[in-house]
Amino acid sequence: MRDLTHFFNPGRVAVIGASKTPGKVGNSILKNIIESGYKGEIYPINPGESEILGLPCKKNIGEIPGTDLAIICVPAALVAQIVEECGKAGTGNIIVISAGFKEVGKEGAALEDKIVELCRRYGMNMMGPNCLGMVDTHVPLNASFAPDMPAKGEIAFISQSGAFGTAILDWSLNNNVGFSKFVSLGNKADLDEIDFIENAADDPNTRVILCYLESITQGKRFLEVVGKATRKKPVLILKSGTSEAGVRAASSHTGALAGNDRAYDAAFVQTGVLRVETAQELFDLALAFTTQPLPKGKRVALITNAGGPGIVATDAVERMGLEMARFDPATVKELREKLPAESNVYNPVDVIGDARPERYELALNIVLHDPNVDTGLVIVTPQAQTNPPGVADVILKVKASRPEKPLLVCMVGGRRTSEGVEKLTSAGMPCFVFPERAVSAIAGLTRYASMLVEPPEEVAFEFPADQARVRAILESVRADKRNTLLGTETAQVARAYGIKAAPSCLAKTPDEAAEIAEDLGFPVALKIASPKILHKTDVGGVKLKLDTVGKVREGFVEIIENVEAHMQDARIYGVEVQHMMPPGRELIIGMVRDLQFGPMLMFGLGGIYVNLLKDVSFRLAYGLRKQDVEAMVRETKAYTLLRGFRGEAPADIPAVEDTLIRVARLARDFPEILEMDINPLFAYEAGKGVSAIDMKITIS
Amino acid sequence: MRDLTHFFNPGRVAVIGASKTPGKVGNSILKNIIESGYKGEIYPINPGESEILGLPCKKNIGEIPGTDLAIICVPAALVAQIVEECGKAGTGNIIVISAGFKEVGKEGAALEDKIVELCRRYGMNMMGPNCLGMVDTHVPLNASFAPDMPAKGEIAFISQSGAFGTAILDWSLNNNVGFSKFVSLGNKADLDEIDFIENAADDPNTRVILCYLESITQGKRFLEVVGKATRKKPVLILKSGTSEAGVRAASSHTGALAGNDRAYDAAFVQTGVLRVETAQELFDLALAFTTQPLPKGKRVALITNAGGPGIVATDAVERMGLEMARFDPATVKELREKLPAESNVYNPVDVIGDARPERYELALNIVLHDPNVDTGLVIVTPQAQTNPPGVADVILKVKASRPEKPLLVCMVGGRRTSEGVEKLTSAGMPCFVFPERAVSAIAGLTRYASMLVEPPEEVAFEFPADQARVRAILESVRADKRNTLLGTETAQVARAYGIKAAPSCLAKTPDEAAEIAEDLGFPVALKIASPKILHKTDVGGVKLKLDTVGKVREGFVEIIENVEAHMQDARIYGVEVQHMMPPGRELIIGMVRDLQFGPMLMFGLGGIYVNLLKDVSFRLAYGLRKQDVEAMVRETKAYTLLRGFRGEAPADIPAVEDTLIRVARLARDFPEILEMDINPLFAYEAGKGVSAIDMKITIS
């Protein structure tokens, strides 16, 4: 982990390119540092000035050796020289605000590479370039040119967009939201979101980590590091750019179905990141996490003074995978005794329209006491007798007496509820206007809590595998100037990694084919072995269910004739003789290589249904946990088929999972394997294993 | 249509049960009427008072005959008598505020029936009972006990929950939202949402109709009436009680019978209602509809001063089925000439961080002028040079000069944007904080616009059908005390309605079976004809692919023996001999009867996949349009199969659609048919039709 202690909490800060001119970045940043109440030493650096904003000016960073943090806001062309000066002066950390690097093209990218190289050489941490700076409200230090200092709080907010960052800081000032840290990533040339997430996970002032990201470049490192961070604190990510389509031509089913966004989804699932869809959700959840304990389970109790919003909230509870709590009989009994006769004493509890604060308090205390309730949601509508500020008071009182149970509030209203809302939010209780958003926040809390109680178990990949054999096959394929393997070659690769494949062998003559067929056992299938031919059946290159030596000989000759008639120029390697396995449930297991995250596995219904039904799931081979392998199978409708559909015996699910793990290791061990498709993989009854019938491998 | 002119705009209003005591409903309503600025005559009625709130009191409604509107707020037990007095006094419309009717049980329901009967007898319109009253801001008249009068506007809001209604009115006061009418439906004993939607569709003060509904009881009427209303104005419905638990809450709340959510979905699609998921969405859309013209298409242009929110919005555009506009080359050229070099001149247009109002104005004018742009979305983040109020001014200016194109605004921020937001919203431009909500509103506008340009074509059901034949068959089944039809009977029903079914006939003896088989043509299938046996194969009751007279005779005997061995007590009608049709693509067409909306059709992938894949679509037989029949097929993955998957020839889709229409008519003509299943329906190549292989019919 990078040590960012003195980055966020420097003893001495220099602003290189500080300016006297209001409105200039070099002026705004210096002003922000001063006004943020920063207690350390501040040095403006500008060779042409003797004093700026009342502080004596230095000519260059060399005059203040060993500075913890230098903020650089000089034109791009000068940055490399300044960075080198910083390095020589023993500066620990730098923030490069200046733009004009990778984002403007090739030349800028070269400049950026150069400053990264300098940082490495001198052992400096760098944030940026092309960023807004950072804020730490606890130090306090506003080393950014964001126009306002955000309020102190427990949310670390990491943004890849500077403008989005400032917009959110501005929004926060009107919405009772505070931050521990704000980080503008800029071009992420050195320090990136992974470093800041790792750091914030250990920051005592931070309770929840929020990111707005447009890309993750170090996928494998992300999987390793962020998976650990989420065990310590919730990490919420709004990842934009989901519509950006992966335009690479795919040669496999898996490639056709997998997109870059699938890889991000898998990465977030495997690391325990909570992915949100909207900026609104990001902050709704952040507020819930910073103010509430984690629920013990997914059972929600609603207390409302109106039926309508109660039903709306109940719908949302079900839609978002939560459960309506079923009260203990004692709870129902007590509610019935103490509430008016017209109240509904089952969940959702309706304290009815004339409920005053005392009745809310009564109901809340009873309901939150119920061991079958994991989270409470109070809904308040402003009716004639309702006293929203009074209800807010009793909510805070009940909350204080039961700090261990999450309790969220929804005040549906505006003018008549504003005082109550203000009471709640200024006391640190988030308050939502519409019930669905409150329920969505509960769903986020619950999802994170359930993840925490399920410790991740990395797949060990501890099985014997004949790597040398695979290496030899791949080398021979490359020597043959091919990038796809023959069926007989993929079968050998499969066997080397313990993947059960239908026995097969390449025959060069009809006699050889007949001999092999006798060896493998009848019936057999014959398939033309010619890597250029994609649709073997269309050119008469396949014969199935041959059960005598004579038919095999004939079949061999016919196949060669057919193929030669259709495709004169196809190079024919012979005919593959494959023992025909008994039919099983048809599945697909595949792999494609994602640019950011490396090998990505696919599982689903196989056969012709792959493209029709697109019933598939994805996970990444790195950061692969046992629960991911299980979940991949369970997420699909294929699982219903495997469990035993319409009276069939269950299939050998452990063998399917084992095959996934073996494919994952094969992809990890051989980066030159770009894509794999096992389609179909036949799954047999429990205990009887699986069989890879057709397997395709493409290498680079 | 009910004439509600004097309901909303009465010349004279009476409040029966008016009270001097502040806080009492009879006091609040009278006070609201007076304070709302109502210009007509107001009469409090209370036999025990001579004057209330400065108005002379009447003893009873008889003293003011011919009153347009009487609002009744006396205890439930007295309501019937009061209603009768109103009737006798020639009152035109009544609102029953009082609770204590259907919602409290059997006795209340009887009371409710009685007052409905009285309204019918005297020709009065009634709203309620158990409601909050209504508001018409244009009259103006606040005939409700909602605590505040909403602002004048163009949204008609119809709520089945009174409390939700007041909460929303309260919210509206803080959010620059105005209403034309607010209607609290209560128990909907007489006037219901259909009446008010129909009325609002012709109300010149209303531009958009919003409903919060928990149930629709008159489904068939809803389909007829609301389908016409949506051609005039957008109707947005938040229908709660979608979840199982929600349904429970709904029935305990208003005593309404909740319907199947699939049927509601179908009803909304078929009537052109925009169904929203959240209260937030309801109002986001309402604001867009009341302030913007309808877009000509789905191409959206984004103008932003920051990349991040631009990407977030682009994602939302793609996710919500809209398109990013591709600019005309002239647009790109002009933007490139007039914007700074660093700007992005393609969509999303990035006017970059230092954009001042003038640059926004320039870009907006150019982009909105582009004929390839249907809707514009401006995104503003508060950066150092940004002047949000100034940007708001230019947005309003551009908007005024191009009133024909929808233009939405998103100001991501809080403190620094609030003045700009206030300028926009008070000038009637909705302004969103987060881009996704703005895009969602554009999606709603676009969806409604696209619906309007596609005129609905009701299915005519104009084909010859032998109703007498079906009636005779159903009567014979009833006479036989069965509620399921034999296969040979369903085949006859099918044929009577022109549904292609595999030829079949019932045989009582082996010889008869052999004779029938020869008549129908080989191969044939034999199936036990015994309505109690659900799984014929399991008891050895099915023989397939019999191709000789001998095999048919043998098969008959074996089937009878098998079934008798398995089920001694099953009544056997004989054996069904069915000509075996060549295999086709396996589909399912089915029908169930929904309590609210009547017969509901289902279409999807047939065979064993029905339950596994649940690839099905639903539409209602009433209000069925040609586009619904087409959409039913297209919505499913079965459609991919029918169009010709993996090189197959396309299937006879028109024949499939024709079968759906015939099944729909059969269900409409015979209400006693409760359920139908054609599974599988074989679909053959284009022009070769379909064949119903197995058809089940259940009657009441």
Query: Domain B585-699 belongs to what topology?
Result: D-amino Acid Aminotransferase; Chain A, domain 1 (3.30.470)
State the DSSP H helix or E strand holding residue A408, giving kind and residue range, or none if neither.
Answer: strand A407-411
Average pLDDT value for residue range B360-370: 97
What Cα–Cα distance (Å) separates residue B57 from each residue in B30, B35, B49, B54? 12, 18, 6, 9
pLDDT at residue A513 greater than cutoff 50: yes
The CATH T-level fold of domain B503-579 is Dna Ligase; domain 1 (3.30.1490)
The yes/no answer to whether this complex scores an ipTM above 0.95 is no
Residue A137 distance to chain B (closest CA, Å): 18
Residue B184 in this model has a pLDDT that exceeds 90: yes
Task: Look at residue B249 and tell me whether its pLDDT is greater than 90.
Answer: no
What Å distances lie between residue A102 and A49, A70, A76, A184, B354, CA to CA?
31, 21, 11, 16, 20
Domain A5-206 has CATH 3.40.980.10: no
Helices (H), A15-59: 25-35
Tens-place pLDDT, residues B482-527: 989 999 999 999 999 999 999 999 999 999 999 999 999 999 999 9
**What's residue A249's pLDDT?**
41
Contacts A164 to B, Cβ<8 Å: 306, 308-309, 312, 381, 412
Measured distance CA(A449)–CA(B512) in Å, rounded: 69
Determine, for residues B382 and A433 on separate chains, whether the beta-carbon distance falls below 8 Å. no
User: A44-53, A190-199, A470-479, B426-435 — which is least confidently predicted?
Assistant: B426-435
Does position B653 have pLDDT exceeding 80, yes or no?
A: yes
Burial degree of B575 (CB within 10 A; 0-12, 13-18, 19+) = buried
Chain B residues closer than 8 Å to A171 by CB: 412-414, 433
Number of Cβ within 10 Å of residue A340's Cβ equals: 10
| DSSP bridge partners of A554 | none
CB A395 within 8 A of CB A421: no
CA-closest candidate to residue B636, choices B675, B682, B589, B676? B589
Q: What pLDDT is stored for residue A612 in this prediction?
A: 78
**pLDDT above 90 for B294:** yes
* CATH architecture observed for domain A483-579: 2-Layer Sandwich (3.30)
The yes-or-no verdict on residue A320 having pLDDT over 90 is: yes
The helix-helix angle for B467-479 and B653-669 (nearest 10°) equals: 60
B336 φ, ψ (degrees, to nearest 5): -65, -40
Q: What is the pLDDT of residues A553-591, one digit of tens each?
A: 999 999 999 998 888 788 899 999 999 999 999 999 999
Q: Is the Cβ pair B171, A311 closer than 8 Å?
A: no
Which residues in chain A have Cβ-Cβ distances shorter than 8 Å to B238?
312
Q: Where are the beta strands (DSSP E) in A69-173?
A: 69-72, 93-96, 125-127, 133-136, 141-144, 151-159
Nearest CB partner across the interface for A384, out of B23, B342, B611: B23
The percent of residues above 90 in pLDDT, for chain B, comes to 79
pLDDT at B242: 66
pLDDT at A340 over 90: yes
Q: Is residue A489 predicted with pLDDT exceeding 70?
A: yes
Asked if B160 lies within 8 A of A433 by C-beta distance, the reply is: no
Confidence of residue B104 (pLDDT cuts 50, 70, 90): confident
Report pLDDT digits (tens) over A622-642: 999 999 999 999 999 899 889
In CATH, which superfamily holds the domain spanning A291-452? Succinyl-CoA synthetase domains (3.40.50.261)
Contact B613 A615 (CB under 8 A): yes
For the segment A123-148, the average pLDDT, to the nearest whole number, is 95
pTM: 0.90
Residue A256 is predicted with a pLDDT of 57
For A344, which DSSP code? B
CATH of domain B5-288: 3.40.50.261
CATH of segment(s) B293-452: 3.40.50.261
Asked if B293-452 and B503-579 have one fold, the answer is: no
Nearest chain B alpha carbon to A184: B308
Which has the closest alpha carbon to A434: A316, A605, A545? A316
User: Does the structure show a pLDDT above 50 at A246?
Assistant: no
Amino acid at A54: G
- With a cut of 90, say whether residue A608 has pLDDT above it: no
Locate the domains of chain A by residue range: 5-206, 291-452, 483-579, 585-699
Q: Do B148 and A415 touch (CB under 8 A)?
A: yes
Q: What is the mean pLDDT of residues B348-377?
A: 96
Coil vs helix vs strand at A480: coil
Beta bridge partners of residue B212, listed in sequence order: B159, B238
pLDDT of A258: 57
Read off the pLDDT of residues A150-181 as tens digits, 9 standing for 90 and up.
999 999 999 999 888 988 899 899 888 999 99
Question: Closest partner residue to A147 among B147, B245, B416, by Cβ?
Answer: B416
pLDDT the model gives residue A454: 86
Neighboring chain B residues of A277 at a CB cutoff of 8 Å: 436
Q: Which residues does chain A have within 8 Å of residue B383's beta carbon, measured at their own beta carbons?
A: 163, 166
Q: What is the mean pLDDT of chain A?
A: 93
Q: Which of A282-296, A332-346, B602-616 is the least confident region?
A: B602-616
